[in-house]
Structure 1
Amino acid sequence: MKVIPRAARVYIGCALLGAGACVLPALRPGAAIPWSTVALLAALYALCELPARCRLLGRGLGGSVPMGTGSFFPVLLAAALLLPPSAAALTALPASLLARVDEPPAAPRRAWRAAATALAVWAAAHAAGALDSAEALGHGPDVPDFPYALLPAGAAALTFCLVLTALDGGIRAAADGLPPRAAWRGLLGRALAPHTVHGLAGLMMAVLWRSAYGPVSALFVLLPMYISCWVFAQYHRERAAHQATIRALVQAVDIKDRYTRGHSERVGHASVLIARELGMPEDRLDVVRFAGILHDVGKLGVPTRVLRKDGPLTPEERRIIELHPEYGHEMVRGIGFLGDARAAILHHHERMDGSGYPYGLHGDEIPEFARVVAVADAFDAMTSTRSYSRARPVPTAVAELERCAGTHFDPRMVAALVSALDRHGWQPAVTADTADDPAPSAEHVPPPREPLPVQPKEHA
């Protein structure tokens, strides 16, 4: 968004006025403000945000520096526990004004972030002060009042989270024209857990800051926080690389086999529907989705003339097509994050009665993910229109799957898909331009492999 709507500009202006009113008491002559603590905390917060803003430092640290002000909210929450509200709000301003902005216009975005963060810290300091945070933290040789000290720290973190998410939802509504309910949906749920952790870290910083060891000891709290943020950034960077790898492979298959364009993504979606219905844990849903999306990646090793042939396949061409699960397994065997998805890619054309390929496995010998993908693959093939076949209605495809359950497909997987379709529905998609031929059946895959007198030739 390069042009900020009028409503958003007014909203940002109001936030700036509110932030100015919050910090004004600290700037009045004679205000009893511990300026050394304010300066140290503001400088520390700005210093923590510097690597994300400096591209040179970012490259030096592998390009995975924690981005955004959220990484170092413990400093602000410590300020809310240690300082009067107006002074605590001041600590947020330097780093917020220096924060990196990835999308233009930069100045209004920095002003908004500075105003929102200052308001949130000011409110958090008021919440902590109402619960006597200064006495609970102790000072010098005085022992902090635990577990009571957790109460003002928790109140500060919760208030900080509520104010920040409320303001962020408001700017989304004003800038993007979203309805209020849509603008705030999910913000608090996503922010609550991280802010709770930040609150505990802020409490540790504040206790150490007020202890006999002094402010230097409080820095040790930031080191594990920074490392955890760096690890989190690495995780997201690696996950993005995984997604890019899968997208590239799927796009390559779609380009080569134009008749099944979009098929892989839909099989991945149907596979997740089945897995959720079976009660698989969340960490396995990504793997089963990868298996569905990449189940046909081995077609990259099949000659294009065979994939795009309009007429019936010869026995030798069928034999070549039947090699695509093995090709696919070889292609992805070195990609560690795919896990059990590799076995699903290899075995998704096996059948429960042992008549499938490539190894003729039967029953529970077939990996669970492969049985999931087999049902999802057949269902999408029957409900998609291609150049050589016409789509069937969903009820007809379901009836065909149920007819073949126990012979071709695992009955549990078929029942799970039927239940998921009743719950979520399905939007069939056309994957080719013409639809003149008879509809496919669940036997859209080549028939079971039979010995051939002529071995397939090697194709480049």
Structure 2
Amino acid sequence: MKPLPRTARAYIVCAALGAGACALPALLPPSPTPWAAASLLAGLYALCELPARRRLLGRAAGGPAPVGAGSFFPVLLAAALLLPPAAAALTALPGCLLARVDEAPAGWRRTWRAAATALAAWAAAHTAAALRAPAALGAGPGDPDIPRALPVALAAALVFCLALTALDTGVRATADGLPLRAVRRGHLGRALAPHLVHGLAGLMMGVLWHSPYGPAAALLVLLPMYVSCWVFAQYHRERAAHQATIRALVQAVDIKDSYTRGHSERVGRASVLIARELGMDGDRLDTVRFAGILHDVGKLGVPTRVLCKDGPLTPEERRIIELHPEYGHEMIRGIGFLGEAREAVLHHHERIDGSGYPYGLRGEEIPECARVVAVADAFDAMTSTRSYSRARPVATALAELERCAGSQFDPRMVGALARALDRYGWQTAVTADEPGGQVPAPRAPGPLAARTEEPA
């Protein structure tokens, strides 16, 4: 376990002190805090943390908590609309402090979550108060004004999201030693839509809270949110199972062939870079990543004496090693979630001119995903140090790929990789057989076809 850096600990302490200062006015006399409403909402939010501790969402005790299972932000956003800012901040604390934390250091993580959530609720409540949320929700003598309350609730949810995202970005940057730009990329975009939906649920709770039916009616809003939480938890568990399956297969290959350690993950990363440049996203992007990671899984069926042989292979040994795409396809053909990745594993050694294996497909006959992985595989083979070859510079590897484009590789995939590397760069790495992790001087470029498959 990597220790939490001193800067990250200081950041969390400052956030906790800030959250305490925001919630303190609710405890000091004369306090305008409506304690009945605040206690009910705080207890409700704490109760919503139970899915992370009990088997309410199909989770066995002691297993990993589903992400988002306890994050019932509609309760906090309703508190932001119904309560003064200090009371809204106080409402967040019991649930966050009771939340299950599976990763160490648990105390720091729990403190951070409580502080960040309280600060976000306080900021959202200030926004709602400035826009006169109580009047719009019907807290006075008039009826609720939904057209007026809707933008108020969305504004509060937006501020809540912005505050939480900014705070999370800061703590991740200090904990991981990363630049803010790298940490915040895409974070807000992923968080915005769910928070706005939670804001609408909080608005419904707030309107029903002041209705003739009282808080009991407001609690009914949580039922569909609880169902959506269950669906999300199931989805998360399924994805976690998928990742565990992939990890187990890759670890088995790495154990058998130590020279390829790390190769599979890097090919998956390069495959994603290419796929993004081609406009793939969502599930298709996951499929390409799985294909890159699992492309060599068939090596489990190749005898170790052949796979780890020093020196040239005999024609018979080469024929044996060229069976690994078919072995890999047979191993994973029953794993339904892999989809197109199974075909990529089978065909990633086909060539555009039809001279590849195992079936000699050419051009568009080769599945697109396989053409992506073929380029990613060759690129990493050239830029990583192996037992039989030294790493080439990225520019040299790209030049070799471009030389072979149209005969061995799809030119579209090669161009996509070149654009992605120009935009994002590439961290070259060596495999386990290079002592000290130092990349030696690159060798002179040679024919790519000679060694894109180790240790052929």
**Which stretch of the first structure deviates more once superposed, 106-115 or 421-430?**
106-115
Is 1:441 matched up with 2:447? Answer: yes
Would you say the 8 A contact 1:298–1:328 is kept in 2?
Answer: yes
Matched residues in 2 for 1:111 and 1:373: separation?
43
Would you say the 8 A contact 2:57–2:230 is kept in 1?
Answer: no
| 2:24 matched residue in structure 1 | 21
Name the TM-score, length of structure 1 as normaliser: 0.82
| 2:231 matched residue in structure 1 | 231
Matched residues in 1 for 2:357 and 2:223: separation?
54
Is 1:412 matched up with 2:412? Answer: yes
**Residues 1:314 and 1:437: Cα distance change in structure 2 (over 3 Å):** farther
Would you say the 8 A contact 1:388–1:437 is kept in 2?
Answer: no
Would you say the 8 A contact 1:3–1:105 is kept in 2?
Answer: no
**Which stretch of the first structure deviates more once superposed, 241-250 or 341-350?**
241-250
Q: What SS class does the counterpart of residue 350 from structure 1 fall into?
A: coil
Matched residues in 2 for 1:329 and 1:103: separation?
36
Would you say the 8 A contact 2:68–2:233 is kept in 1?
Answer: no
Would you say the 8 A contact 1:136–1:146 is kept in 2?
Answer: yes
Matched residues in 2 for 1:385 and 1:81: separation?
59
Would you say the 8 A contact 2:12–2:112 is kept in 1?
Answer: no
**Residues 1:183 and 1:255: Cα distance change in structure 2 (over 3 Å):** closer
Superposition deviation, residue 325 in structure 1: 0.6
**Residues 1:102 and 1:143: Cα distance change in structure 2 (over 3 Å):** same
2:344 partner letter? A
| 1:402 matched residue in structure 2 | 402
How do 1:292-307 and structure 2 match up within 5 A? Answer: 292-307=292-307
| 1:137 matched residue in structure 2 | 137
**Which stretch of the first structure deviates more once superposed, 314-323 or 296-305?**
314-323
Equivalenced residue count is 443
Is 1:331 matched up with 2:339? Answer: no
Matched residues in 2 for 1:282 and 1:300: separation?
30
Superposition deviation, residue 260 in structure 1: 2.6
Superposition deviation, residue 52 in structure 1: 2.3
| 2:310 matched residue in structure 1 | 310
Superposition deviation, residue 118 in structure 1: 4.1
Superposition deviation, residue 374 in structure 1: 1.5
CA RMSD of superposed structures (Å): 3.7
Q: What SS class does the counterpart of residue 389 from structure 1 fall into?
A: coil
2:129 partner letter? G
**Which stretch of the first structure deviates more once superposed, 315-324 or 298-307?**
315-324
1:352 partner letter? I
Would you say the 8 A contact 1:137–1:149 is kept in 2?
Answer: yes
Superposition deviation, residue 300 in structure 1: 0.4
Would you say the 8 A contact 2:92–2:117 is kept in 1?
Answer: yes
Q: Which of the two has higher C-alpha Rg?
A: 1
Q: What SS class does the counterpart of residue 357 from structure 1 fall into?
A: coil
**Which stretch of the first structure deviates more once superposed, 135-144 or 235-244?**
135-144
Would you say the 8 A contact 2:73–2:198 is kept in 1?
Answer: yes
**Residues 1:396 and 1:147: Cα distance change in structure 2 (over 3 Å):** same
Structure 2: unaligned runs, 5 residues or longer: none
Matched residues in 1 for 2:190 and 2:238: separation?
21
**Which stretch of the first structure deviates more once superposed, 87-96 or 105-114?**
105-114
**Residues 1:183 and 1:100: Cα distance change in structure 2 (over 3 Å):** farther
Matched residues in 2 for 1:108 and 1:422: separation?
39
**Which stretch of the first structure deviates more once superposed, 4-13 or 321-330?**
4-13
Q: Deviations over 1:119-157 (max 9, x none)?
A: 443443332222222221236996521211112212322
Matched residues in 2 for 1:144 and 1:296: separation?
62
How do 1:3-402 and structure 2 match up within 5 A? Answer: 7=10, 11=14, 14-15=17-18, 17-24=20-27, 27-28=29-30, 34-54=34-54, 59=59, 66=66, 71-102=71-102, 113-114=113-114, 116-138=116-138, 143-165=143-165, 176=175, 181=180, 185=184, 188-402=188-402
Superposition deviation, residue 282 in structure 1: 4.1
1:389 partner letter? S
**Which stretch of the first structure deviates more once superposed, 249-258 or 50-59?**
50-59
**Residues 1:302 and 1:47: Cα distance change in structure 2 (over 3 Å):** same
**Residues 1:178 and 1:379: Cα distance change in structure 2 (over 3 Å):** closer
Structure 1: unaligned runs, 5 residues or longer: 448-460
**Residues 1:445 and 1:205: Cα distance change in structure 2 (over 3 Å):** same
**Residues 1:250 and 1:133: Cα distance change in structure 2 (over 3 Å):** same
| 2:423 matched residue in structure 1 | 423
2:450 partner letter? H
Matched residues in 2 for 1:425 and 1:87: separation?
48
2:397 partner letter? A
Superposition deviation, residue 208 in structure 1: 1.6
Superposition deviation, residue 78 in structure 1: 1.2
Matched residues in 2 for 1:128 and 1:77: separation?
10
Matched residues in 2 for 1:437 and 1:145: separation?
74
The percentage of counterpart residues that share the same residue type is 73
Would you say the 8 A contact 1:85–1:126 is kept in 2?
Answer: yes
Would you say the 8 A contact 2:39–2:91 is kept in 1?
Answer: yes
